[in-house]
């Protein structure tokens, strides 16, 4: 395998050099931010600066941003403690059928504990409207959870409109937004969505795995999910991951400084899709994706797991849906009611601002080659 041709940036991203540098620097400074002596205060300062940087990118105050271990933890915290906070309102949750497992599996667990969940279905294009959400609200609805960017289609859900509809129905309903695929991938800072809670994750933007954050709007009195030493203002115990935080902050700074990144990513996605259509006339586009970095395609009649494996053997990395599904058909494409051959052959491609035309050409050639080989084997 000569060179990795990587089109799976929605699964995870390479750690940016700026993040590596910040991490190595922080590793050398091993103090515990909670210790009282001067040496440790440097570590505390690093955490403070990290919080300021990430909060600025989210568009909130540092006091509203709490570091967690990942997007999944942030989602769990928001949903579990959000329902607890609003338990007097009722036990009804509204979410969508196309959320990431971090939200869906948490909802299923809450159902086992006696909560009731409404799962909004998307249309054939993967869209869900604010009117649809408004119609699902009930007097006992305590929380709404809606993602910003779907991780398999790249569709942007109308979160700001949905927040307005929910708050017009009753301002006391909590609104959580899983913005793991939207952080620094959409033009508006996330806090402007108006949601009470917003989850983000570092490894989707060039930070290492193992760091995320939850924005908790001022005034929302969410209790901690993890209790212990009282770090993060008592809201998320556990010795601060100083190296991870330093790297997250460095990645956020580097990504934010690249002001043309969204346009570049969208342009390379468009180029790749045109090359793919040219090389494979039978290829269909499931979703072009509103977010610049994700789209979904299908080779009807093929099995996407086999295509992914054949491409992988040639060093070309794409996904047959969210990496978390481990071979199961995507619940997102299934919820969109795609015809079975489309479902079977569905592939997700995801891009970075650094993806090149040469890589896109290589992807088109490799996919054509894989399709031809598999067709011959099948027939």
Is residue 176 close enough to count as binding ligand PLP by CB under 6 A? no
The span from the CA of 302 to the CA of 238, in Å, is 47
Contact pick of 147, 163, 347, 349 for ligand PLP (by CB under 6 A):
147
The span from the CA of 256 to the CA of 184, in Å, is 7
Is residue 320 close enough to count as binding ligand PLP by CB under 6 A? no
Is residue 70 close enough to count as binding ligand PLP by CB under 6 A? yes
Residue 6 has what DSSP assignment? Answer: E
Listed residue (6, 31, 82, 74) closest to 248, CA to CA: 74
Residue window 203-232: x/- pattern of binding to ligand PLP, with contact defined by CB under 6 A? x--------x--------------------
Closest distance of CB 170 from ligand PLP, Å: 26
Separate counts of helices (H) and strands (E) for the chain: 12, 12
User: Exposure of 340 by Cβ count < 10 A (0-12 exposed, 13-18 middle, 19+ buried)?
Assistant: exposed
Task: Tell me the window of 32-40, 117-125, 177-185, 340-348 that interacts with ligand PLP (CB under 6 A).
Answer: 177-185
Listed residue (125, 100, 149) closest to 337, CA to CA: 125
Closest distance of CB 10 from ligand PLP, Å: 6
Whole-number Cα distances in Å, 353 to 25, 185, 255, 263: 26, 10, 10, 8
Is residue 186 close enough to count as binding ligand PLP by CB under 6 A? no
Contact pick of 18, 178, 196, 232 for ligand PLP (by CB under 6 A):
178
Task: Tell me the window of 66-74, 132-140, 213-221, 362-370 that interacts with ligand PLP (CB under 6 A).
Answer: 66-74
Is residue 181 close enough to count as binding ligand PLP by CB under 6 A? yes
Is residue 72 close enough to count as binding ligand PLP by CB under 6 A? yes
Q: How many CB atoms lie within 10 A of CB 177?
A: 28
HEC assignment per residue over 10-64: CCCCCCCHHHHHHHHHHHHCCCCCCCCCHHHHHHHHHHHHHHHHHHHHHCCCHHH
Does 107 qualify as catalytic in the annotation?
A: no
The span from the CA of 287 to the CA of 348, in Å, is 9
The span from the CA of 278 to the CA of 230, in Å, is 57
Residue 149 has what DSSP assignment? Answer: B
Contact pick of 16, 51, 81, 100 for ligand PLP (by CB under 6 A):
100
Contact pick of 13, 201, 265, 320 for ligand PLP (by CB under 6 A):
201
Is residue 336 close enough to count as binding ligand PLP by CB under 6 A? no
Is residue 107 close enough to count as binding ligand PLP by CB under 6 A? no
Is residue 71 close enough to count as binding ligand PLP by CB under 6 A? yes
Is residue 102 close enough to count as binding ligand PLP by CB under 6 A? yes
User: Residues with Cβ < 8 Å from 23, sequence gap 6 or more?
Assistant: 15, 208, 243, 244, 246, 247, 250
Which lies closer to ligand PLP via its Cβ, residue 95 or residue 151? 151
Is residue 68 close enough to count as binding ligand PLP by CB under 6 A? no
Which lies closer to ligand PLP via its Cβ, residue 53 or residue 181? 181
Is residue 151 close enough to count as binding ligand PLP by CB under 6 A? yes
Catalytic one of 70, 177, 317, 324: 324
**What are the catalytic residues?**
324
Residues lying near ligand PLP in the complex (CB under 6 A) are found at 70-72, 75, 100, 102, 147, 151, 178, 180-181, 201, 203, 212
């Amino acid at each position: 395998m000569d060179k990795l041709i990587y089109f799976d940036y929605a699964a995870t991203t390479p750690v940016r050099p700026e993040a590596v540098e910040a991490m190595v620097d922080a590793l050398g400074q091993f103090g515990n931010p909670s210790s009282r002596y001067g040496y440790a205060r440097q570590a505390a300062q690093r955490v403070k600066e990290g919080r300021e940087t990430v909060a600025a990118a989210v568009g909130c105050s540092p006091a509203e941003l709490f570091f967690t271990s990942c997007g999944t933890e942030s989602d769990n915290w928001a949903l579990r403690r959000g329902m607890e906070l609003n338990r007097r309102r009722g036990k009804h949750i509204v979410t969508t059928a196309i959320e990431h497992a971090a939200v869906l599996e948490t909802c299923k667990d809450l159902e086992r504990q006696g909560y009731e969940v409404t799962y909004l279905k998307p249309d054939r294009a993967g869209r869900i409207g604010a009117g649809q959400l408004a119609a699902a609200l009930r007097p006992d609805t305590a929380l709404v959870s809606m993602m910003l960017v779907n991780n398999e289609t790249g569709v942007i859900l109308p979160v700001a409109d949905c927040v307005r509809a929910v708050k017009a129905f009753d301002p006391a309903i909590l609104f959580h937004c899983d913005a793991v695929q939207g952080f620094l991938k959409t033009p508006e800072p996330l806090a402007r969505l108006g949601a009470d809670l917003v989850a983000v994750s570092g490894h989707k933007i060039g930070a290492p795995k193992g760091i995320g954050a939850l924005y908790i709007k001022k005034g929302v009195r969410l209790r901690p999910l993890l209790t212990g030493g009282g770090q993060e203002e008592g809201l998320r115990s556990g010795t601060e991951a100083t190296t991870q935080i330093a790297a997250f902050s460095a990645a956020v700074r580097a990504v934010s400084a690249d002001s043309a990144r969204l346009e570049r990513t969208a342009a390379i996605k468009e180029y790749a899709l045109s090359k793919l259509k040219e090389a494979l006339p039978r290829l269909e586009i499931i979703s072009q994706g509103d977010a610049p970095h994700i789209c979904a395609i299908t080779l009807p009649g093929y099995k996407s797991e086999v295509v992914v494996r054949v491409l992988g053997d040639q060093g070309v990395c794409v996904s047959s849906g969210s990496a978390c599904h481990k071979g199961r058909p995507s619940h997102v494409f299934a919820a969109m009611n795609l015809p079975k051959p489309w479902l079977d052959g569905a592939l997700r491609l995801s891009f970075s601002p650094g993806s090149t035309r040469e890589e896109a050409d290589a992807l088109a050639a490799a996919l054509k080659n894989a399709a031809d080989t598999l067709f011959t084997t099948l027939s």
